[in-house]
């Protein structure tokens, strides 16, 4: 019996330490959540950082909502997207509603020979905020080898989701560093927090955006530039193919209004209280379980898409 006492004591302290660690982690998470979501505060995202805000993928969804929110704060807006017609429409809306100057650049981020044009069009502008929002995903969840037009999809996902973030940052960051102020907001995805089967290339590209942002934050925060990785779950947008907002799938306007308040407070954020809770749940979930949940969800979405396709 005496020989069992040391082992029992060891197990007791292991258990007590584990409980204490989990309690401290939960307390810290609750405190952080209250500080960010429960306390009234306003970020200094606006003309004080620089006159102009540049937003990619800005004619719809999250990108358009960031453009409107920044214009509301008095910033001049550069809209970059593929369709000149849509760009002109959104630019006119913002100019008339918020009484700020706007500029448009029509380019296809699926190509890699566009950045000299963007550099020329941005020359001379004092850019305070860059929102790297442009992105693309699969048409529907699918096994890697069965993704339609796989070669083209691989190239486009890398060009749009990865190359654009690096190249736009390369164009804008030097001016921010020179003035010792600025903010770069990189729109990643909750799919970049953990591997997501049946969206493997998309998930991997968004993980790159998250890691790239975290590295940049560490490199440039001492130089006055705040870099943020934004990791939303589902938002009611055309890209997500969700029409009606719900409490866990907010409209892009609701999401951005919430997310922009985290600038300066969180360099890595889910951007929205319910999404933050979902992110915390996934963070404490065993990796095998999160993979199983994601696989099950996407198998269901895949089956529904294929069934619908057969009917049409």
Q: Catalytic residue positions?
A: 202
Residue whose pair of structure tokens reads 């003309």 in the numeric block: 47
**C-alpha to C-alpha distance for 228 and 170, rounded to whole angstroms:** 16
**C-alpha to C-alpha distance for 75 and 275, rounded to whole angstroms:** 28
Nearest C-alpha neighbor of 102 from the set 57, 51, 62, 63: 51
β-partners of residue 96 are: none
Residue whose pair of structure tokens reads 């999401």 in the numeric block: 255
Sign of the alpha-carbon dihedral angle for 111, 132, 283, 10: positive
**C-alpha to C-alpha distance for 55 and 104, rounded to whole angstroms:** 10
Cβ neighbour number for residue 299 with a 10 Å cutoff: 14
Sheet holding 52-56, edge to edge: 102-106, 76-81, 52-56, 127-132, 182-187, 225-230, 268-269
Q: Which residues contact 162 (CB under 8 A, 6 or more apart)?
A: 205, 208, 209
In degrees and rounded to multiples of 5, residue 236 shows phi and psi of -75, 90
């Amino acid at each position: 019996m005496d020989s069992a006492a040391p082992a029992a004591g060891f197990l007791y302290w292991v258990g007590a330490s584990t409980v204490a660690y989990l309690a401290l982690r939960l307390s810290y998470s609750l405190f952080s959540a209250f500080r960010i979501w429960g306390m009234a505060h306003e970020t200094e995202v606006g003309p004080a950082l620089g006159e102009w805000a540049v937003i990619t993928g800005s004619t719809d969804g999250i990108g358009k909502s960031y453009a409107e929110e920044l214009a509301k704060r008095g910033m001049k807006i550069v809209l970059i997207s593929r369709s000149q017609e849509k760009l002109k429409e959104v630019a006119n809306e913002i100019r008339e509603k918020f009484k700020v100057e706007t500029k448009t650049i029509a380019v296809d981020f699926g190509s890699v020979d566009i950045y000299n044009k963007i550099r020329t069009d941005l020359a001379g502008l004092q850019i305070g905020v860059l929102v790297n929002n442009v992105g693309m995903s699969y048409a529907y969840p699918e096994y890697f080898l069965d993704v339609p037009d796989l070669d083209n999809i691989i190239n486009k996902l890398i060009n749009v989701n990865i190359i654009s973030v690096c190249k736009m940052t390369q164009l804008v960051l030097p001016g921010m560093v020179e003035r010792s102020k600025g903010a770069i907001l990189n729109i990643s995805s909750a799919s970049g927090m953990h591997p997501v089967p049946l969206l493997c290339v998309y998930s991997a590209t968004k993980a790159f955006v998250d890691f790239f942002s975290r590295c940049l934050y560490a490199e440039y925060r001492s130089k006055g530039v705040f870099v943020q990785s934004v990791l939303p779950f589902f938002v009611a947008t055309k890209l997500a193919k969700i029409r009606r907002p719900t409490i866990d799938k907010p409209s892009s306007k609701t999401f951005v209004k919430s997310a922009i308040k985290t600038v300066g407070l969180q360099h890595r954020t889910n951007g929205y209280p319910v999404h933050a809770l979902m992110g915390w749940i996934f963070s404490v979930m065993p990796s095998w379980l999160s993979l199983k949940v994601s696989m099950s969800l996407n198998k269901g979405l895949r089956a529904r898409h294929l069934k619908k396709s057969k009917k049409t």
